Chain A
């Protein structure tokens, strides 16, 4: 939008803003806030607000804890839900060290770095995510349950469907915050919903995703519901994905389109696809970063399992939607909404760019249903699987220098440590399934 610091100060005064939330995400994509009164805004805009980095997971140790928040004026937005007096606005921030250099562990900073890498090649990325989520009922303590409105059955004859009305409010709230909503609908599973917003440049899209999850949760809570972006909350029904449409532009021109090539896809597009396929085993650890993520990536629920690409078929990892011209794009179907949106876009773009730099070529597109093939057929056609677990994905990531370079040593070290703890704790736990299957048997 091109807002300046002065614009922000003026708007804050015009809109009677009393508090500003300075937002950033930790390395796991969890939104963090530092709230300041409006009197501190001009100081904040100069990047002079400090916070204790050691209290943020994956940031810094106690000895080196002072960090600065540098707000991006373009992200100034008023929260639509109003307290009694005055309004609350937010600014998304980059994290800097106190000596004024960008902090290498800031996910937004990592995305900016790879965006700059694309810019050196004269390119910029547009991305459009489709985030799915579930709406669950809460219990007497306000904690989420697994009960969805669709199968609750209490108010079958009421004039309003709670899920629909909550979703409508979400759309209205997002629109008020400047989102352009393209579609909003009920998804395949009971209680599952999807709201799509218009594609934008990668940084804006990542900012939007961080905001999106927070808005959806808040509005759901105001309906007595809990919105969950957990990838696979219920066994036996579809999980929640975050298919990400991506394209690269040179000025006004979409460089993925070439009317004279096969499938009307340019060589760059083909190389980009090959890059995605090549690095998928590794970047899956970032785009699908929880143990639960891998319970979604199983056959039978419209989630991708095999590393392949296709034009029509929805079973492979990469699908090419039918639109051509400026709308030509690539849809990566594996990411899920538990990812850190900044890092997820960082690794996707990096993988694609690497494919273009090395002029990689993907295997032939796969228009047959891969699920119906035998293991031998898949091997023959060189169709491999996405990692089956977080541990497997982490191992792949450890061996992929390109993706590691994109996220940087700092994030990688912290991420590796945290994920190891996560996997160990899960491995040692006795799960309900085990009790159910073994307790009476042995």
Chain B
């Protein structure tokens, strides 16, 4: 993982240098820096790093920025609590994010980053699987509904209805889901007109 790229949002120059130099030991490179919450988001969206490191003391709404990066799975996320961070920490739900207090040992920083990145990869993969499953489930629901329509319309058995759909799909060279959708919608229009 020595090609890992990260974006950094740390306002204090001493903290900033310390973080960059600690991470460079492990071959991580800083590919963008943000000077406030909104700017950090813009940088992360354009540079697309694997890791985002955000100091709670960064101007602007840092927690919202962190939440967006987290919710949209934009990058692995590490929050830092530096000298200037006090004002933000009060209403922070600590169970949501990993926060390291600065100054931090180089070894600790690097291993936390490593774990966070692995976690991020795992989560990314899971989300992809979830979307794929969701799409499948949706397709199946539509096919079920279309089957219902066909069974009622032609007094078919369930098996016959499915076969009918399958045949149409092959004849028209369209995915089963699309054929089912058309049938379902068509039936709906007939009902409303």
Q: Give A contacts to B, CB under 8 Å.
A: 2, 81-82, 137-142, 149, 155, 158-162, 165-166, 222-225
Is B128 an interface residue when CB atoms closer than 8 A count as contact? no
Inside 8 A of A155's CB, which chain B residues have their CB? 32, 43, 46-47
User: What 9 A-B pairs are tightest by C-beta distance, nearest first?
Assistant: A224-B41, A140-B36, A224-B38, A138-B38, A224-B42, A140-B59, A158-B46, A155-B46, A162-B46
Inside 8 A of A160's CB, which chain B residues have their CB? 45-48
Measured CA separation A57–B22 after assembly (Å): 55
Would B42 and A223 count as touching, CB distance under 8 A? yes
Measured CA separation A155–B32 after assembly (Å): 9
Contact mask B21-60 → A, CB, 8 Å, 1/0? 0000000000010011111111101111000000000011
Inside 8 A of A2's CB, which chain B residues have their CB? 188, 191-192
Main DSSP-derived SS at the B contact region: helix
Q: Give B contacts to A, CB under 8 Å.
A: 32, 35-43, 45-48, 59-61, 65, 68, 71-72, 188, 191-192
Measured CA separation A223–B39 after assembly (Å): 9
Would B188 and A224 count as touching, CB distance under 8 A? no
Query: What are 10 A-B pairs at a CB distance below 8 A?
Result: A2-B188, A137-B42, A139-B36, A140-B37, A140-B59, A141-B60, A155-B46, A155-B47, A162-B42, A162-B46
Instruction: Tell me which of B40, B42, B68, B191 has the highest count of chain A C-beta atoms within 10 A of its own C-beta.
Output: B42
Measured CA separation A165–B43 after assembly (Å): 12
Measured CA separation A202–B61 after assembly (Å): 39
Measured CA separation A160–B43 after assembly (Å): 10
Measured CA separation A323–B132 after assembly (Å): 39
Which of the residues B37, B47, B48, B191 comes within 8 Å of A224, measured between beta carbons? B37
Would B42 and A225 count as touching, CB distance under 8 A? yes
Inside 8 A of B61's CB, which chain A residues have their CB? 142
Inside 8 A of A161's CB, which chain B residues have their CB? 46
Would B60 and A142 count as touching, CB distance under 8 A? yes
Least CB distance from B49 to A in Å reads 11
Which of the residues A142, A158, A166, A225 comes within 8 Å of B47, measured between beta carbons? A158
Measured CA separation A223–B44 after assembly (Å): 9
Measured CA separation A217–B53 after assembly (Å): 26
Can you name 15 extra interface pairs (CB under 8 A) apart from A2-B191, A140-B36, A140-B60? A2-B192, A140-B39, A142-B38, A142-B60, A159-B47, A160-B45, A160-B48, A162-B42, A165-B45, A165-B46, A223-B41, A223-B42, A224-B42, A225-B38, A225-B42
